[in-house]
Structure 1
């Protein structure tokens, strides 16, 4: 049994339903200790869940042409009740469906929640109605999310590690196979004695079916201003990791190895991927479609100095059929870099 197979996350809440602690326990005989993280109480009373009226409009600031269509606008009174600011994320639940939005703007006098009229397909509704707003975005366990849809967060961490962090922020059905590659990379590092942490998000649609993909519903971005919405991620942001790996899935026929880490490291990763996965690998940042160099993405802002992020965009074939080969390439290169 691998270490993260045995983790059970238990959340405790204050009277306002705000997480006050996260305890990660392990089954008997598992070799890692109990880990406990304490979240400070809010400065003023806030709520973490409210029921509000969702309304729609076609205002251009809500930008219906955006790829993921994840902008919303909140009334100031609602934002204050939730204790959030512009840039934060909110989860919106409507019946069996849920999704997240980035709070693009807060207005003093406005409807409680406003989204673009062309965005409703992400919620599985076709008109204005009452919905539930939450400030914690992942609310399901990995088991529950496969059964009923939603978003799950998994963290394997000893609370002090500042070495390697392996991440897959778009796991599950969002970018299939990326969480498997990240998990197996972590396993290989752990088996080889490399101190590392693992952070995953896994998004799925509900079993009722959906007109939109899990990718449209749960392709979460913009974490740098929204870490409080992800309890596991929030425990990592006070540290600066020597190396952060972000595993992603693209639609290209080649693998892209980017990020802000040294070119020499990216080239070593590329060589291993070519050998083990048998795919074309590109590393020239100026020619990559998804270079992963934005300092605001989690791969970079969680790393030391913001310049130790390794961003890997895998092909569909790599994610579907070459999980072990990709994980071996990443783990082997990391071991050599840290040696």
Structure 2
């Protein structure tokens, strides 16, 4: 199994080709097709993340084994993926398995336009893990909301895992966003340390282009209802609608492969909160405080059983 060393990233030059994908999913432009033999040669796992760089531009992608490929030293990316890199078919790109820099401080990462991983965990409890996989400037304020919830509940009952990315204005999302259904524990050492521990609940803060605050995941309906009511009260008078996602709706977070569900026992305790930009920027702290109160009451009720 591939183990990355922070000072010895595994990287390789490869030829870029375009693959045509009719899918319109958000993750389509975040995936690359790679020959299975190349994965084996580099000691990597399928669906692991890797950096791809070209001409000073870097973006994070998910590696998808492509059995239709003939050339081992070629990777295939959709046209939208090519635009993320500013690269054209036939050009050489660099594939690098160093997804994050564990030695870089948050301030350094912001200045350098980099991508980092953070964990606050006592290593023991199984209560609540709070996630912000798209923090920093990727989905602004979501990491601060996650940090606020964990600070409120304390380390005895809550764990924080976050990734934070920065870049030129408007480019952090393009460079570092990976859909939660694709995030691999093989690419994030701190996340991997949590992967064998199943939590009772998991909560993930997100931002999206919709107008509402959308509550999804595979957690019980009563928890979703409690969160909806608490958040609606927190944003009362703002005109922002708060609702529970319909089954099958985009951003409903109900896939068992979604990280927020994967980290819970029986994939049954995940809550995904999608928020419009006004909700995050103008009411982010109030939303996080409301969420904290709900989980505090659920933890207290569970302690009385």
TM range (shorter): 0.7 to 0.9
Q: Are the counterparts in 2 of residues 258 and 310 from structure 1 also a CA contact under 8 Å?
A: yes
Q: Cα deviation per residue 1:303-332 (whole Å; 9 max; x = unaligned)? A: 111000011112211211212201111110
- Which ranges in structure 2 are unaligned for 5 or more consecutive residues? 301-305
Which residue does the alignment assign to 1:152?
A: 116
Please name the residue that 1:183 is paired with: 147
| 8 A Cα contact 2:16 2:93, kept in partner | no
Q: Report the count of equivalent residues.
A: 290
User: Which residue does 1:70 correspond to in 2?
Assistant: 30
Pick one of 63, 68, 75 that aligns with 1:114.
Answer: 75
The answer for the alignment partner of 2:188 in structure 1 is 230
Contact 2:34 2:76 in 1 (8 A): no
Are 1:337 and 2:263 an aligned pair? Answer: no
Gaps of at least 5 residues in structure 1 are 1-15, 21-46
The partner residue of 2:263 within 278, 297, 302 is 302
Please say which of residues 326-335 and 143-152 is displaced more in the overlay.
143-152
Provide the residue aligned with 2:4 in structure 1: 18
The answer (yes or no) to whether the contact 1:165–1:196 under 8 Å persists in 2 is: yes
Cα offset, 1:299, TM superposition: 0.6
The answer to whether the aligner puts 1:100 opposite 2:60 as a matched pair is yes
> 1 CA distance for matches of 2:159 and 2:99?
21
| Post-superposition CA distance 1:203-237 (Å, at most 9, x none) | 222x4x6xx73222222125567211111110110
Distance 1:91 1:268, change over 3 A: same
Q: CA deviation at 1:79?
A: 1.5
- Kept in 1: contact 2:122–2:156 (CA 8 A): no
TM-score for both structures, normalised by structure 1? 0.77
Per-residue CA deviations over 1:216-269 (Å, capped at 9, x if unaligned) read 222212556721111111011000111100101122222111111111111111
Secondary structure of the structure 2 residue equivalent to 1:305 = helix
Aligned mate of 1:274, from 232, 239, 242 = 232
Task: Please say which of residues 323-332 and 77-86 is displaced more in the overlay.
Answer: 77-86
- CA distance in 1 between counterparts of 2:245 and 2:78 reads 40
The answer on 1:199 being equivalent to 2:158 is no
CA distance in 2, matches of 1:76, 1:248: 32
Distance 1:224 1:163, change over 3 A: farther
Report the equivalent of 1:264: 222
TM-score, length basis structure 2: 0.85
Query: How far apart in 2 are the matches of 1:224 and 1:106?
Result: 16
